[in-house]
Amino acid sequence: MNPILTRLGLADHDPQLLHDRRGTTLYRAGDTAVKITSGLMAGREGEILRVLGAEPYRDHGWDGERSWLALRWIDGISLWDALDPAHQDVTPATRHRILTKVGAAVRALADLHAVGWTHGDLQPDHIIFEGDTTHLIDLACAQGPADVPFYVHRGGLAHTTAPEIATAILTSDDHVATTPQADIWSLGASLWWSWTRTTPIAYTDPAARRPQLLADVAAARRADLTSTRPWPFPQLEELIMACLAADPGSRPTAKELASRFPRA
Ligand SMILES: Nc1ncnc2c1ncn2[C@@H]1O[C@H](COP(=O)(O)OP(=O)(O)OP(=O)(O)O)[C@@H](O)[C@H]1O
Ligand SMILES: [Mg+2]
């Protein structure tokens, strides 16, 4: 039994190991999710969630070289899964349901940006819909106006990274500052990927290592949406393309996008 789970009194709650990769271990024990990372990232995420007053936050702490974060288990579906019905049919009802979800995701990002924070690693699995609530999860890389532990940010998942962030990563070894505009690209990339099931960048070699993938991102080698989508979905695609403007200043803000979606 992991000693952190024992300390949290979760050993008797049938803890299930959900994943153990890249220095992160994630357990579910009853209605609690516990994330344990080597280094400070889980603890950093806990500090951020506490500052933000995020409801799923329960507790976090430090344990030698590791840190941990306890959250309420979110019983919802990811953006990726939420777009599934859009692949089944083209009925107005399905499209309305999908656009309602997209609107909820956009509002969640607008709320985060409104309090001065950027997510820094938005991807299809980091947006979770639970009833009427939309959660942006995995805020470990978030940047904002609070004194949380510093780490040198070198970008998130390549597939959803904005070109200007990819350029910053490739041209210097310094800490990379995230921006709301880069989050908007990541949102557009997450929507493109969830909609077409292929990434928005046409990689020179999809099996290449991260620097080569980032070089293609930096060059904004955009794939062809019309040949990868199941069928046209104009309202969704117009929003995606606006988010994927090469010039960060030309991308809509999350607040502007939110105003296009009246609350359901
Ligand atoms: N509180 C929660 N409730 C439900 N599911 C969760 C919760 N926290 C995390 N998950 C699930 O675990 C996955 C991994 O969590 P998270 O993204 O925070 O960790 P990670 O180490 O960054 O993983 P990855 O490397 O896959 O991004 C999420 O995509 C989500 O499916
Ligand atoms: Mg994650």
Query: Based on the domain organization, do 109 and 213 belong to the same domain?
Result: yes
Query: Based on the domain organization, do 20 and 141 belong to the same domain?
Result: no
Does a structural domain hold residue 207?
A: yes
Low-confidence ranges of the chain (pLDDT < 70): 264
Atom of ligand 1 nearest to the CA of 121: 27
At residue 263, the pLDDT reads 75
Query: Based on the domain organization, do 58 and 164 belong to the same domain?
Result: no
List the domain range (segments joined by +) for residue 202. Answer: 77-259
Q: Which two tokens stand for residue 75?
A: 């019983």
User: Could you tell me the distance, in angstroms and rounded to a whole number, from the CA of residue 138 to the centre of ligand 2?
Assistant: 5
Does a structural domain hold residue 264?
A: no
Residue nearest to atom 15 of ligand 1 (CA): 138
Query: Based on the domain organization, do 119 and 56 belong to the same domain?
Result: no
Count of structural domains within the chain: 2
Identify the domain boundary among 38, 53, 72: 72
Does a structural domain hold residue 216?
A: yes
Select from 77, 79, 137 the residue to mutate for testing ligand 1; criterion: most ligand atoms less than 8 Å from CB: 137
Query: Based on the domain organization, do 94 and 223 belong to the same domain?
Result: yes
At residue 264, the pLDDT reads 63
- For ligand 1, whether the C-beta of 81 sits within 6 Å is no
Query: Based on the domain organization, do 66 and 182 belong to the same domain?
Result: no
Does a structural domain hold residue 196?
A: yes
Does a structural domain hold residue 116?
A: yes
Does a structural domain hold residue 128?
A: yes
Does a structural domain hold residue 14?
A: yes
- For ligand 1, whether the C-beta of 209 sits within 6 Å is no
Does a structural domain hold residue 231?
A: yes
